Amino acid sequence: MSPRCPSSGGASSGFTLLEVVIAVLVIAIAFGGLLQALALQADRLAEMRLRLLAGWVADNRIAEVLLAASAPVSGELHGETRQGGVALYWQQRSAPGGDANLQRIDVEVGRAGETAVLARRSVLRER
């Protein structure tokens, strides 16, 4: 009986080319899904930041109304401002608040040039 060389004959102890190709394909598909999830998260983070900035603008408008010496006249005001490097528009509506001494003020904020509202705030103020 002659000794066998481990690399010749006998059972193979490695991966075939087909197994390696399939493994690489599975990993590539998994990374593709991971990259897609990361891109979606980045989009959501940008949307959250935009909504946060719009909320600050709305809060600032409400604070200005509450700190003013007199209540705003009924009607609508609008303007544009920059917050965090983003151009935003605001729209303020004033109307009677259901009581003779109250006035309701609604503020909506969105991105300049778009119609979607990113933040809304409402407050009742004494006349």
Domain assignment present for 35? yes
Predicted local distance difference test score (pLDDT) of residue 116: 92
Q: Which residue do the tokens 């991971």 mark? A: 34
Residue 10 located in a structural domain: no
Place of tokens 């007199």: 70
64 is a domain residue? yes
**What CA–CA distance (Å, rounded) separates 120 from 94?**
14
How many helices (H) and strands (E) in the chain? 1, 4
pTM: 0.69
Distance CA 110, CA 80 (A): 10
Band the pLDDT of 12: cuts 50, 70, 90.
Answer: low
What per-residue confidence (pLDDT) applies to 2?
52
Query: Based on the structure, what is the number of domains in the chain?
Result: 1
CATH of the domain at 28: 3.30.1300.30
Q: Give the side-chain half-sphere CA count within 13 A for 18.
A: 0
| Bridge partners, residue 92, by sequence | 77, 107
Indicate whether 9 belongs to any domain.
no
> Over the stretch 19-78, which tens digit does the pLDDT of each residue have?
999 999 999 999 999 999 888 888 899 899 999 999 999 999 999 988 988 877 788 999
Residue 37 lies in a domain: yes
Q: Is residue 51 part of a domain?
A: yes
pLDDT for the residue 7: 56
Residue 71 domain flag? yes
Determine the Cα–Cα distance for residues 42 and 66; give it in Å rounded to an integer. Answer: 36
Is 11 a domain residue? Answer: no
pLDDT at 120: 96
**What is the distance between the alpha carbons of residues 38 and 32, in angstroms, rounded to a whole number?**
10
HSE, CB side, 13 Å, CA atoms: give it for residue 106: 9
Q: Which domain holds residue 41?
A: 17-126
